[in-house]
Amino acid sequence: MNVPEIFGSMVFNEKEMKKRLSKESYTSLKRTMVQGSPLEEGVANEVASAMKDWAIEKGATHYSHWFQPLTGITAEKHEGFITPAEEGGIIMSFSGKELIKGEPDASSFPSGGKRSTFEARGYTVWDPTSFPFVKDHTLCIPTAFFSYTGEALDKKTPLLRSMESLNEQALRILKLFGNDATHVTTTMGPEQEYFLVDEKLYSQRKDLKMCGRTLFGSKPVKGQEMDDQYYAAIKPRVIEYMEDLNEELWKLGIYCKTEHNEAAPAQHEMAPIFTTSNLAADQNQLTMEIMKKVARRHGLICLLHEKPFEGVNGSGKHNNWSIATDKGENLFAPGKTPGQNAQFLLFLTAVIKAVDDHQDLLRAIVASAGNDHRLGANEAPPAIMSIYVGDELEAILNSIKEGKAYSDKTNKKLSIGVDVLPPIPKDSTDRNRTSPFAFTGNRFEFRSVGSNLSISGPNTILNAILADTLAIFADELEKAPDFEKALQELIKREIKAHDRILFNGNGYGEEWIKEAEKRGLKNYPTTPDAMEHYLDTKNIELFRRTEIYTEVEMKSHYDVKLEKYCQILNIEVETMLEMVHKDIIPCTFRYLNNLADTLSKLSGSGAPFTGGKKLIKKLDSLITRLDEKTENLAQLHENTKTAATFMEKARSYADKILPAMNEVRKIADEIEPLLGTEYKPYPSYEDLLFSVQ
C-alpha cells in the first residue's frame, strides 16, 4: 500500500480544487472558505462542474448533502447526476445551485417538537470549510441543516457559530498583548475507543442487537484484572481489520495515526492527528460509520456503546481540544517567553473560570443513557467536573492566588508579564486518567465524552463558554488605564474565585465525592439530573450573548435529549423482559427438567442425588425471584409510560426503572453460571470477550 498516494484520494481537497479550477475561481473559493464571503454564482457553477467530473472519475453516480441531524448520526439523501437529454439519452450534470443548497424533508428528524409534520421544509447548505468526498459511489457534500424558519436542526451549525464567536473574542484578547493574529480557530483530535466481537456470537445476543450493550452477563473468570490486554500484541484478525480500516480512512483524508489494544479484553483505540474542529467532527462521524462497515467484512461487529460490558472498561472519546492562530501559535502552549506566558496564563484562567461557571452544561452535553453507565468506573472520569493541571501549574496558580513568590530551580520569582516568569515546559504535567478535564501540555483533554457521541456538541459548548469568558475579560481589560496591572489583578482574582474546580487527585475515591460537595461542585449522576439545569436562565443568556443557540433551539435540544434517553430505556426494558421470558426462563426450565428426570431415574437406585436436589432447589428459588422482579419491572414500566412530560418520564427511568433492571439482572446473572453449557440462553461474556483471535 502506497500511503502517500492513496491518502485523500477520495476527497475533493485543495489540491484537486487548485488543479481543476481557474485561478480566479480558486481564489474566490478560498476567500469563501477562510473569510466566509458569499460564493458568486459563476464560481459556484464552475466548482460544481469540476467537483462532478472529479467524482465521476472516482466512480460516483450520485451526490448527497451529508449532514448531522440531532439523531447523533449522519444523514444523506442521494440524487443522481443524470439529466434527461434528447433521443432518450442522458447527460451528467451538477449545478452550483445544487451544490450550495438542498431541501431534504425536515419533519421526520428530531426537532424537540418545534417542527410539525405539516411543516416539512428544511434546507441543507454546503460548508465549504469541510471538503466533499466520495463514499459508496456517492459524492458527499458536508452541509449545515436548518429549518424553514431558520432554526438549526443539526449539530454542525451551532459548532460553526461557536467557532466564529470564539475567534472574535480571542482576537480581542490577543490584540491587547500586541499579537498580530488575524484568525483563531479551535482544533480537535478525538481518540476513539471501541470493542470488537464476533458477528456470529453478536447475532445470538438480542440485547447487543437492540441496545448496543449487554443487559445480562455473569462476570467471566478473567476480565481485565491482569492488565495484560493494554498495549499487548494485537491479534491477527484485529490487525487485518485495523489495516483495512486505516486504508479506508486514509482514502478519505482522515489522519488516522494511532492504534492499540485498550485495557479491557476485546477493546481497542484509534486516534487521529489534530485538525480544525468542524472538520474533526465530520471525520469522526465518518470514522464511526466506517469502523462498523469494515468490521462486517471481517466477520466482526464494532461496538461503540459507552458500556457494552459490565465490570470492564467502558469506551470514551477523549476530546483533545485546543485553539490556535493563523500564525501557527497554540494558545494553550505555555510558551518560552514571559509575554507568552502571561498570555497563556490569561487563557488558562479563562478556561478555569469557564469550566467552573458552567459545570452543568459540560455534564449535560456528555449525558446519555449509555454514558451514565460509564462515568465514574473502570478508568472513566466521574460525573463531577474538575480540572487537572499538574503539580507545576498548580504551584504557579497557587502562588498567584496567594500573592506569594514562586521559585523554580533557578530561583526565578513569578511576576506576571515581567521577565522573571519561568518558562513552563510542554510536558509539565503527568496524565490523570480519573480527571474529566485534564491539561496535557498544550491542550485540554475532555475525557467525559462517550464513545458513541458526536463531538460537535461538546466542542460547541467548550467554544461557547470560553468565548463568553474571554468577552468578559476583554471588556474589563480594554477599559483599563494600566493593562499590566489590570491583567495581574484579573488573573489573581479569578484564580482565587474558581480554584475549587482544580483537582489533581484521584477522582474515583469516595473522599473526592465528599470533598467536591464541600467545595460546592455539582454532582449529576444521571442524564435527567444534568438536564434539569440545561434551561437555567444563565445558560439561555450565555447562548444569547454568544449567538450560538436561540432559546427555541435550546428548548428543542432539551426535549430531543430527554426523549432519546426515554426511548433508549424503553427499548432496553422491552428487550430485557423479552430475554427473560423467551431465553432465560425457558433455558432454566429445560435444565431443571433434565435434573428432575435424572432425579427420577436415580430415585429407584437408592442414590441420594444430594447435590442435584440442592441445585434444583436453588434454581427454583432463583427463577421464582426472577419472575417476581420481572413482573415488578414490567409494572413500573407501564406506570412510567403514562408520565406527562419527558422529564417526568426520564426521572422515572433513572430513579425507578434502572434500579429495577439491575435487580432483574443480578438474579439472571446468578442463574447463568449454574446452567449446563448446552442450556446457555446466550453467548457468555467469556465467549464474547475472548472469541476474536
pLDDT attached to residue 414: 46
Which residues neighbour 119 within 8 Å (Cβ) at sequence distance 6 or greater? Answer: 106, 107, 147, 148
Give the gyration radius of the chain's Cα atoms.
28
Contact predicate 67/141, CB 8 Å: no
pLDDT attached to residue 346: 95
DSSP code per residue over 21-35:
S-HHHHHHHHHHHHH
Would you tell me how many other CB atoms lie within 10 Å of the CB of residue 170? 28
Question: Would you say the C-alpha torsion 605, 611, 612, 618 has a positive or negative sign?
Answer: positive
Is residue 420 predicted with pLDDT exceeding 50? no
Residue in 342, 492, 337 with CA at minimum distance from that of residue 416 = 342
For residue 389, the number of C-alpha atoms closer than 13 Å in the C-beta half-sphere is 23
Give the model's confidence band at 112: pLDDT under 50 very low, under 70 low, under 90 confident, else very high. Answer: low
Phi, psi dihedrals of residue 141, rounded to the nearest 5°? -110, 110
Is residue 147 predicted with pLDDT exceeding 90? no
Identify the top-confidence range among 221-235, 326-340, 427-441, 471-485: 471-485
CA angle, 531 then 546 then 437, to 5°: 55
Is residue 229 predicted with pLDDT exceeding 90? no
d(CA 81, CA 61): 6
Q: In terms of pLDDT, which residue wins out, 151 or 366? A: 366
Give the model's confidence band at 105: pLDDT under 50 very low, under 70 low, under 90 confident, else very high. Answer: low
Contact predicate 384/375, CB 8 Å: no
Mean per-residue pLDDT for 157-184? Answer: 95
pLDDT attached to residue 345: 92
Amino acid at 10: M
* Rounded-to-10 torsion of CA 417, 484, 437, 233: -20
pLDDT attached to residue 71: 82
Q: Could you identify the residue written with the cell 469568558?
A: 469
Q: To the nearest whole percent, how much of the chain has pLDDT over 70? A: 91
Ranges 343-347, 391-395, 515-519, 554-558: which has the least confidence: 391-395
pLDDT in tens, 503-548: 988 888 788 999 999 999 999 999 999 999 999 999 999 999 999 9
Residue 633 burial (CB < 10 Å; 0-12/13-18/19+)?
buried
Residue in 363, 367, 382, 354 with CA at minimum distance from that of residue 467 = 354
Give the model's confidence band at 619: pLDDT under 50 very low, under 70 low, under 90 confident, else very high. Answer: very high
Amino acid at 204: Q
Identify the top-confidence range among 322-336, 340-354, 530-544: 530-544
State the DSSP H helix or E strand holding residue 608, giving kind and residue range, or none if neither.
none
Which residues neighbour 563 within 8 Å (Cβ) at sequence distance 6 or greater? Answer: 110, 112, 646
Mean per-residue pLDDT for 589-605? Answer: 84
The grid coordinates of residue 455 equal 463531538
Is residue 28 predicted with pLDDT exceeding 50? yes
pLDDT attached to residue 97: 87
Question: Would you say the C-alpha torsion 157, 162, 168, 174 has a positive or negative sign?
Answer: negative
Rounded alpha-carbon distances, angstroms, from residue 491 to 57, 416, 474, 565 = 57, 9, 12, 40
pLDDT attached to residue 538: 96
Is residue 411 predicted with pLDDT exceeding 80? no
The grid coordinates of residue 446 equal 475532555
d(CA 52, CA 46): 10
* Rounded-to-10 torsion of CA 24, 27, 29, 35: -140
Q: Could you identify the residue written with the cell 423482559?
A: 577
Phi, psi dihedrals of residue 578, rounded to the nearest 5°? -65, -40
Residue 525 burial (CB < 10 Å; 0-12/13-18/19+)?
middle
pLDDT attached to residue 167: 96
pLDDT in tens, 58-99: 999 999 999 888 887 888 889 899 888 776 776 788 888 888
Rounded alpha-carbon distances, angstroms, from residue 641 to 90, 657, 665 = 54, 11, 22
Contact predicate 60/50, CB 8 Å: no
Bridge partners of 71? none
d(CA 257, CA 274): 10
Contact predicate 192/285, CB 8 Å: no
Task: Tell me, rounded to whole angstroms, the distance of Cα 23 from its chain centroid.
Answer: 39
